[in-house]
Structure 1
Amino acid sequence: MKKIVSASYEDFCRDFTLNVPANFNFAFDVLDRLASERGDDVAVVHVDDAGVRRDYTFGWLHGQSCRMANALKQRGLRKGDRVMLILYRSIEFWVSMLALHRLGAVPVPSPAQLMPKDIVFRVNRANIRGMIVESSLTGRIEEARPQTETLDVLVQSGKGCLPAGWSDFHDMVQQASADFPRPAAPAENAGGDDPLLIFFSSGTTGMPKMVEHNHLYPLGHYMTGAYWHDLEPGDLHLTLADTGWGKALWGKFYGQWMAGAAVFVYDFRGKFVPAELLRIMAENRITTFCAPPTVYRFLVREDLSQYDLSCLRHCTTAGELLNESVYADWLAATGLPIYEGYGQTETTLQVATFRNMQPKPGSIGRPVPGWDVVLMDAGGNMCPAGEEGEICVRVAEGAPVGLFKGYLDEPEKTASVMFDGYYHTGDKAWMDEDGYLWFLGRVDDLIKSSGYRIGPFEVESALVSHPAVIEAAVTGVPDPLRGQAVKATVVLAGGYEAGEALTKELQNHVKKVTAPYKYPRIIDYVDELPKTISGKIKRAEIRQRDEQA
């Protein structure tokens, strides 16, 4: 695909088209072509926890993934079989994903934080047949195995004792053939609308759902890489995400290669250290960068003048609201604006700020070309500018490329979000006069206080702009006069002490930063916020605790 250059957002929407080949399969149609045309070019730059850098080419990935596909086929895996991957950010993740795409088997990327009970639930829920796991996690799988029903192909990567019944990743690859032609038989040839992968949702409001995507999903991320990340051939892109979550495939896999760039992987295993990330970015001359706003908040607290970020030319963020003060601090230190975006596990990029748009700090941007995004009220009516509504995607005339197939084995849950010709995201926003969307939060998270409807993100954004606050979660608590009162649950930065004086200071700060009626009348100080294993705040759990109290 040839990247177009548009002077305005309107021109971009008019000119952009996405070519969708018949029976598209990323491994055969993209990776193999890159290996043929640019086999010696670097595809992945990997820096491990010890700081050792290794460069992997497209040709190397082609050979290794063909070998792994053959090895897995020899062990009985076939098209449609589901395989859980727990591989941190090791290069084996990329090899395994491509191998499974070739086989038509269905990867289930999973985070390393899963405990045995989580593994039992997911394996049995998804009828998972295979596991490819980093050796430090094998013990958890072994603990879970007696309670699972379908596992029979077990692969361990890395050093460590190999339990009975397991195969060694590197032995498998070394012994297998590097020739894996595209299958001709329909029973083996996967592509198009066939299942590509399954994500388990974060489970912020209940048990995780199985989000199923088809083989067109990677094509949806061409927009992510080429236009939102603004990638060009020769770029080295870093998205700070773990491979257990969908964001890794947004920024570490499909769209970046289709745009001609290489992927940078920082495989740190311990606690996130902002100064160390900045050093890695400077030493490896990162050109484009994507991270959640929380990471930017930590980075701007460092002395950025001590790091050579001169190669960095484009920055993006998603996952939560970007605080305006962080935007301003980053811009002042680097000269670079931060371009926001919005999507879900169920989608690719839906709304974004692109290079041909003026960023508005705090706005997620405008609808992505190809995504017919509207705001609707509870009655199914379109919302005018300035009025809040649910973010919905029109699908009556066909789903956009990148929208999920549905919640696997849960047709009633799929029907609860896919009806009347629209996909209902469950997220609320409002649109300004220029067509920019401003995210408010999940429908269930909105607070109704004294006739006002208050989104938690805007209050949280105001709170974290104060130097005392590292993280904040805003919820509503029952109030006899107001219906609900705004409550903030706050994690403090070092050197600050909870107390009445600080509470007053934070309340006054919020009144100055945003509309005064939104200030938190209650502030609760905690050591950490309840979160899902993907790091999303569980506001529902905070509300439940408050109701019980």
Structure 2
Amino acid sequence: IPVCCIGKTRRNWKCWNFLCKFVLHVTFSKCNRLLTSQIISYYDSINQCKKELPEYFNFASDVLDEWLRLEKDGRRPANPAFWWVNDEGEEVKWSFEELGFLSRKAANILSEACGLQRGDRIIAVLPRIPEWWLLNVACMRTGIVFIPGTSQLTAKDLLYRLQASKAKCIITNDTLAPAVESVMPDCQFLKSKLIVAKGRRDGWLNLKELLLVTSADHKCVKTRSEDPMLIYFTSGSTGSPKMVVQSHSSYGIGFATSGRYWMNLTPSDIMWNTSDTGWVKAAWSSVFAPWICGSCVFVHNMPQFKPAVIAETLSRYPITAFCTAPTAYRMLVQHDLSSYKFMSLKHCLSGGEPLNPEVMAKWKVQTGLNIWEGYGQTETVTICANMKGMEIKPGSLGKAVPPYDVQIIDDHGAILPAGVEGNIAVRVQPKRPFCLFSEYVDNPEKTAASVCGNFYVTGDRGIMDEEGYVWFVGRADDIINSSGYRIGPFEVESALIQHPAVSESAVVSSPDPVRGEVVKAFVVLAPAFVSHDPEKLTHELQQHVKKVTAPYKYPRKVEYVQDLPKTATGKIQRKVLRNKEWGRV
């Protein structure tokens, strides 16, 4: 400490006080890094293949309860484990101790009030409300298999999921309760119904009421690493949605590496991921990755995506890490962000679909921050990512994330050289990565078809460069084959969005008597261009694409639309447009 600080004047006292705080901050930060390494380094080392997968693992007891213990000992920052807000100004904050207390109550409700046993399946169709997180953890504690679903499911969707999964319990709110009741006669496996609502409903158990009277005395079951923990319904290129099962270790341990190196999380961070609870990205970035790193999970209960609400939230709350879909980033950069100050934000992430380099550049100009893109599927944890310390190549998915060996292969399973387009694949022989999904439930044919030679095939097309960066081309069934040229829609969409007239676009194949298929673009115009002459504007867009990318990729057909069909999570549904174009509707 400098001699000048050892005085009694007000100025010297301020200097002394500042230096003491600085030393404490540095010391605490160092301890914080050590604590982080104590917990996630063990699981990270499993991903790095330095340690064997444990025989038994449960995320609730082995991760969440460990952070609870460190929190009680004062060895974790004074940071909530969970922080929920809504537009009405309501807030819910839980420490890891409170999360543990409430989730044990919820676990007893599932076992006692609902009569569920280890291995049973429940479907949870809830918006972004705190109870969704409690039930997620409660299922881990009881060994019950958790099946999330988006709140936009219809009665037909619910019936299919209840019948296919043989779920014994469904959990929802007042909005979807009537739809569940309408299909009840055809759901012979369903034994109990749990509602999250303020008032009672005939035939339903009320979670809020039960939480008030149920004991928190619960002992977590001992689950094996390979025991099923989660099931997600995921759409394929053909047929009904498939059930993807993930084990306790696949997500619970598998996200240690990406949480630490892609999301760059520590116990001091507050992570906000905007995903709907029915989308697998909610499990990735709102449960497993942040909590394995001891971070705070931040949630804003937004019924609809509004750029102004996003910007205001990032300005108002001390959010340090932010993850949203490329569609959301596209909307945000079109919004005027100049009046907002994101004082705490330091790390931005994207996933779910490819991110246009143009959007990435605009975000950097407006916020000063990069967007670190990651890539994976419901069947996997993060496959590729732009991780800290790496050079970001705009438009690239980054490099393979351990323990995955990612390669580009042909249709026979042979590895292709750098720069050659093929199937993005993950090596599964001689040893299958522990964080790859277990199977498609009750669908051995689909499970077997996902493997080609020594590789699991993602169904996505891509290119790997000389440095190991992977570049997304498109879904295998989205590829446009025009006069022998294979054209990925994403590259054309990226070119289109660079034109000021284009707010959003979706590119699909369209039948052509000469070329077999041609590129067609569905374009949502920016407000300033709505009244422009469509014929002249089409020609201008076509010329623009020819200049930005290879001329043969330009859209020979352009249709202007008010909006594009999207999933509940904001992904553009090219399949809907393609089916319409080919008369398959």
- TM-score normalised by length of structure 1: 0.93
> How far, CA to CA, are the matches of 2:390 and 2:70 in structure 1?
34
Which residue does 1:119 correspond to in 2? 158
> How far, CA to CA, are the matches of 2:52 and 2:172 in structure 1?
35
Match of 2:308 among 275, 280, 295: 275
> How far, CA to CA, are the matches of 2:237 and 2:152 in structure 1?
16
Q: Per-residue displacement from partner, 1:294-334 (whole Å, max 9, x unpaired)?
A: 11111112232211112111111112221122111111222
Offset at residue 174 of structure 1 (A): 1.9
Which residue does 2:177 correspond to in 1? 138
Gaps of 5+ in 2: 1-33, 38-44, 73-77
RMSD: 2.1
2:309 alignment partner, SS class: helix
Match of 1:481 among 479, 502, 514: 514
Offset at residue 400 of structure 1 (A): 1.9
1:240 counterpart = 2:274: yes
Amino acid at match of 1:50: E
Match of 2:576 among 522, 534, 541: 541
1:252 alignment partner, SS class: helix
2:338 alignment partner, SS class: helix
Contact 2:522–2:561 (CA<8 Å) still a contact in 1?
A: yes
Count of residues paired in the alignment = 535
Match of 2:103 among 65, 69, 72: 65
> How far, CA to CA, are the matches of 2:388 and 2:205 in structure 1?
47
1:424 counterpart = 2:424: no
> How far, CA to CA, are the matches of 1:258 and 1:369 in structure 2?
16
Go from structure 1 to structure 2 and tell me whether the alpha carbon gap of 1:287 and 1:41 turns closer, same or farther (over 3 Å shift).
Answer: closer
Largest Rg, 1 or 2: 2
1:47 counterpart = 2:47: no
Contact 1:3–1:226 (CA<8 Å) still a contact in 2?
A: no
Amino acid at match of 1:266: H
1:410 counterpart = 2:443: yes
2:56 alignment partner, SS class: coil
> How far, CA to CA, are the matches of 2:503 and 2:218 in structure 1?
50
Q: Per-residue displacement from partner, 1:348-385 (whole Å, max 9, x unpaired)?
A: 10001111111011100111121011110123221111
Contact 1:204–1:538 (CA<8 Å) still a contact in 2?
A: no
Go from structure 1 to structure 2 and tell me whether the alpha carbon gap of 1:379 and 1:418 turns closer, same or farther (over 3 Å shift).
Answer: closer
Which residue does 1:529 correspond to in 2? 564
Match of 1:517 among 543, 552, 573: 552
Amino acid at match of 1:465: Q
Which residue does 1:155 correspond to in 2? 194
Q: Per-residue displacement from partner, 1:125-145 (whole Å, max 9, x unpaired)?
A: 110110111233222212222
Amino acid at match of 1:23: Y
> How far, CA to CA, are the matches of 1:71 and 1:78 in structure 2?
11
> How far, CA to CA, are the matches of 2:274 and 2:47 in structure 1?
32
After alignment, is 149-158 or 489-498 more displaced?
489-498
Go from structure 1 to structure 2 and tell me whether the alpha carbon gap of 1:328 and 1:536 turns closer, same or farther (over 3 Å shift).
Answer: closer
Instruction: Tell me the percent identity.
Output: 44
> How far, CA to CA, are the matches of 1:82 and 1:314 in structure 2?
36
Go from structure 1 to structure 2 and tell me whether the alpha carbon gap of 1:460 and 1:155 turns closer, same or farther (over 3 Å shift).
Answer: same
Offset at residue 14 of structure 1 (A): 11
After alignment, is 277-286 or 33-42 more displaced?
33-42
> How far, CA to CA, are the matches of 1:54 and 1:3 in structure 2?
25
Q: Give matches, 1:366-381, under 5 Å.
A: 366-381=399-414
Offset at residue 431 of structure 1 (A): 1.1
Contact 2:47–2:254 (CA<8 Å) still a contact in 1?
A: no
Q: Give matches, 1:92-491, under 5 Å.
A: 92-160=131-199, 162-183=200-221, 189-203=222-236, 205-216=238-249, 217-269=251-303, 271-491=304-524
Offset at residue 93 of structure 1 (A): 0.7
After alignment, is 321-330 or 362-371 more displaced?
321-330
Offset at residue 513 of structure 1 (A): 2.0
Offset at residue 31 of structure 1 (A): 1.1
Offset at residue 220 of structure 1 (A): 0.9
1:548 alignment partner, SS class: coil
2:140 alignment partner, SS class: helix
Offset at residue 146 of structure 1 (A): 2.3
Offset at residue 253 of structure 1 (A): 0.7
Offset at residue 421 of structure 1 (A): 2.7
Go from structure 1 to structure 2 and tell me whether the alpha carbon gap of 1:231 and 1:342 turns closer, same or farther (over 3 Å shift).
Answer: same
Offset at residue 49 of structure 1 (A): 3.0
Gaps of 5+ in 1: 5-11, 184-188
Amino acid at match of 2:109: A
> How far, CA to CA, are the matches of 1:100 and 1:388 in structure 2?
42
1:95 alignment partner, SS class: helix
Go from structure 1 to structure 2 and tell me whether the alpha carbon gap of 1:17 and 1:265 turns closer, same or farther (over 3 Å shift).
Answer: farther
> How far, CA to CA, are the matches of 1:110 and 1:542 in structure 2?
24
Go from structure 1 to structure 2 and tell me whether the alpha carbon gap of 1:13 and 1:55 turns closer, same or farther (over 3 Å shift).
Answer: closer
> How far, CA to CA, are the matches of 1:79 and 1:13 in structure 2?
26
1:365 alignment partner, SS class: strand
> How far, CA to CA, are the matches of 1:88 and 1:210 in structure 2?
21
Offset at residue 190 of structure 1 (A): 2.6
Offset at residue 397 of structure 1 (A): 2.5
Offset at residue 30 of structure 1 (A): 0.9
Offset at residue 396 of structure 1 (A): 1.2
Amino acid at match of 1:251: S
Go from structure 1 to structure 2 and tell me whether the alpha carbon gap of 1:180 and 1:279 turns closer, same or farther (over 3 Å shift).
Answer: same
1:413 alignment partner, SS class: helix
> How far, CA to CA, are the matches of 2:370 and 2:347 in structure 1?
8
1:478 alignment partner, SS class: strand
1:290 alignment partner, SS class: strand
Contact 2:229–2:247 (CA<8 Å) still a contact in 1?
A: yes
Offset at residue 524 of structure 1 (A): 1.4
Q: Per-residue displacement from partner, 1:144-179 (whole Å, max 9, x unpaired)?
A: 22222211111111224x332211102222222111
2:423 alignment partner, SS class: strand
Offset at residue 439 of structure 1 (A): 0.2
Contact 1:194–1:215 (CA<8 Å) still a contact in 2?
A: yes
Contact 1:78–1:105 (CA<8 Å) still a contact in 2?
A: yes
2:253 alignment partner, SS class: helix
- TM-score normalised by length of structure 2: 0.87
